[in-house]
Amino acid sequence: MGTRFNSLQYFIKSILGMTLVFGSSTLLADDTHLLSNLSEPRQRMEEQGFAIEAVLTTDIMYNIDGGIERDGTLLGNLDIAFEIDTEKAGLWKNGTFLIYGLGNFNSGKLLTEIAGDFQATSNIEADEAFKLYEAWYEHRFSDHASLLFGLHDYNSEFDVVEYGGLFLQSSFGISPDISQNGPSIFPVAALGTRLKVWPTENTYIMAALYDGVPGDPGNSTRTSIRLGHDDGLFGALEIGHTVGDPGSLEYHKYAMGVWTLTAEVENFAGNIQDENSGIYFIGEKTLFEEDAGRGSLGAFVQLGFTHADRNQVDSYWGAGLNYTGLFASRPEDVAGLAVASARNGSNFMDYARDVDGQAVDHTETTIELTYQARIQPWLAIQPDLQYVINPGMDRRLDNALVVGARIEVVF
């Protein structure tokens, strides 16, 4: 390894050291932003209906065993969101505008190129770019309905488990049975519209339509709206029931969703199929809460299924546990353990055997252990360990062991 990654190793050690040093500190800032000197102008802006938020997320990851090679990388993600509340801004009631800029960078190599995994071990992995990511308007007609239109991330509302948001593994954010088809998700959003209704206080129905091919397939580093004749539509429907907030004993969420892509798609064997679709089920619940709210345990489950003759992965399951406040002195820290497993479909396995019968396995399974330490209200440091079994479903690759840390700063 060269000096470039020796410095990354030193950085990881420094980060782990910071976690221990700051772990017992009680000198926490009152403000939730690093730039606390801007708190008063920020508050005045929000009173006038304008809010801005900037978050920098950095992953330092190293594959210490197995996979394609022993090497590491640094991945960065900058989110800048500007929101306008139309009523507070003196325009009209019940409206919200969002403009969301996205910046990604890396140290020269993506982690999937190192570990060889199908399910990305870092959910911020993307080509280097800074661009407009989302830009939409939402109008709330009452307490029971809202309509949104614009550049919108499907996964910001669909197929979401709140307890899965702790983990770095991408499948806990958007399951691979869906993401393998390239819908309107990170890092390229598509033009679409979403309707959400609440028939009762605790039930919801969401339906959405998106351009079937987000952005410019030839250049993912820029914002592009190209409504091609052959793009088709990506349609989504989710019905769910949710009560309470994550961490509270009453919290639970159960949902079922379906999606369909009307465009002609080329499958793994190069054959053209006239459509694609799938179904998923998600659920999560707070299992228990300690006395006086000192800690809580939450769990989530994901299941996804799609056509075996059109997709490499035809099924997926994921599950995990989160414990908030594992240590009495660290009530806001979160520890997590989760498993994500993507399975190749029977048609793909038959095709792969004809190409190279010795190379392909049925499943790739990742086990992730993580701990998010809230060092300051605006700073979190998260050591992470992932063990990837059958990376890339490739029998020629040994199981990969990826270690690293995530640093999140709210400006």
- Per-residue pLDDT at 54: 96
Confidence of residue 2 (pLDDT cuts 50, 70, 90): very low
Kindly list the distances between the CA atom of residue 174 and the CA atoms of 302, 316, 331, in Å, as whole numbers in the listed order. Answer: 10, 11, 28
- pLDDT for residue 49 is more than 60: yes
Model confidence pLDDT, tens digit, residues 127-184: 999 999 999 999 999 889 999 999 999 999 999 999 999 999 999 999 999 999 999 9
Phi-psi sector, 400: left (phi>0), alpha (psi -120 to 50), beta:
beta
- Per-residue pLDDT at 357: 63
Confidence of residue 42 (pLDDT cuts 50, 70, 90): confident
- pLDDT for residue 206 is more than 50: yes
- Per-residue pLDDT at 264: 80
- pLDDT for residue 18 is more than 60: no
Tell me the percentage of the chain whose pLDDT exceeds 90: 73
Confidence of residue 261 (pLDDT cuts 50, 70, 90): very high
Number of neighbours of residue 44 by Cβ within 10 angstroms = 10
Tell me the percentage of the chain whose pLDDT exceeds 70: 91
What mean pLDDT comes out for the span 352-368? Answer: 85
Contact 405, 12 (CB under 8 A): yes
- pLDDT for residue 14 is more than 50: no
Q: Can you give the C-alpha Rg of the chain in angstroms? A: 22
Highest-confidence range of 36-40, 137-141, 212-216, by mean pLDDT? Answer: 137-141
- Per-residue pLDDT at 292: 63
- pLDDT for residue 8 is more than 60: no
- Per-residue pLDDT at 196: 98
Confidence of residue 35 (pLDDT cuts 50, 70, 90): confident
What mean pLDDT comes out for the span 323-327? Answer: 93
**What are the phi and psi torsion angles at 14 (to 5°)?**
-65, -40
CA atoms 21, 27, 31, 35: torsion sign: negative
Contact 265, 273 (CB under 8 A): yes
What is the total residue count of the chain? Answer: 411
Contact 172, 338 (CB under 8 A): yes
Model confidence pLDDT, tens digit, residues 265-320: 778 878 888 889 999 999 999 999 887 667 899 999 999 999 998 999 999 999 99
- Per-residue pLDDT at 3: 36
Model confidence pLDDT, tens digit, residues 58-106: 999 999 999 999 999 999 999 999 999 999 999 999 999 999 999 999 9
Give CATH for domain 3-410. Answer: 2.40.160.180
In which element (H, E) is residue 15 found? helix 3-23
Burial string for 192-216 (b: 16+ CB within 10 Å, else e) reads bebebeeeeeeebebebbbbbbbbe
- pLDDT for residue 197 is more than 80: yes
Mean pLDDT value across the chain? 89
In which element (H, E) is residue 178 found? helix 176-179
Contact 189, 157 (CB under 8 A): no
Break the chain into its structural domains and give their ranges.
Answer: 3-410
Q: Out of 8-12, 118-122, 344-348, which region has the weakest mean confidence (pLDDT)? A: 8-12
- Per-residue pLDDT at 375: 95
- Per-residue pLDDT at 338: 98
Question: If we measure between CA atoms, which residue out of 251, 330, 248 comes closest to residue 293?
Answer: 248
Instruction: Tell me which DSSP letter residue 214 carries.
Output: -
